[in-house]
């Protein structure tokens, strides 16, 4: 199938498909005129890539995990699980930082509210 059909069937933009190829996450053959052609398996591959991106994984990390998909083995599966655990830990750290940032913003908002009360009190006197 050509790139437009793959895009339509997988719900992904043509631009995304080209990006996946640039990152060596997706592969195609080329016709004599240079048009990309994909196998039926490409639809499932793109769906899988989208799930990985939705989980917050980068292209680099996805590329590291693909051996588990492309050449399944216990060793590849263990390596993929370890890499995903590292990503989960990274996300946990990021979430903790976001919580601290939100708490700092809450303090600033409380300070602002208190200041507004003093402004109202000063204008009603």
Average pLDDT taken over every residue of the chain = 93
Domain segments of the chain as ranges: 1-71, 72-124
Q: Work out the pLDDT band at 119, boundaries 50, 70, 90.
A: confident
**In this predicted model, what pLDDT tens digit does every residue of 10-67 receive, in sequence order?**
999 999 999 999 999 999 999 999 999 999 999 999 999 999 999 989 999 999 999 8
Residues for the chain: how many in total?
125
* pTM of the predicted structure, to 2 decimals: 0.74
User: Which tokens in the block code for residue 10?
Assistant: 């997988």
C-alpha pair distances (Å), 22 with each of 62, 105, 113, 116: 13, 40, 51, 54
Which residues does 57 contact at the CB level (< 8 Å), separation at least 6?
A: 65, 87
CA 77 to chain centre: 20
* CATH, domain range 1-71: 1.10.1660.10
Which pLDDT belongs to residue 125?
Answer: 61
């Amino acid at each position: 199938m050509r790139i437009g059909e793959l895009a339509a069937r997988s719900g992904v933009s043509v631009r995304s498909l080209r990006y996946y190829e640039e990152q060596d996450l997706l592969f195609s053959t080329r016709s004599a005129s240079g048009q990309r052609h994909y196998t039926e398996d490409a639809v499932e591959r793109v769906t899988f890539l989208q799930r990985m991106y939705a989980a917050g994984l980068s292209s680099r990390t996805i590329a590291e995990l693909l051996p588990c998909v492309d050449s399944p083995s216990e060793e590849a599966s263990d390596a993929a699980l370890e890499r995903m655990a590292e990503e989960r830990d990274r996300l946990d750290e990021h979430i903790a930082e976001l919580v601290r940032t939100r708490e700092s913003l809450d303090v600033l908002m409380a300070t602002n509210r208190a200041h507004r009360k003093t402004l109202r009190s000063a204008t009603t006197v």
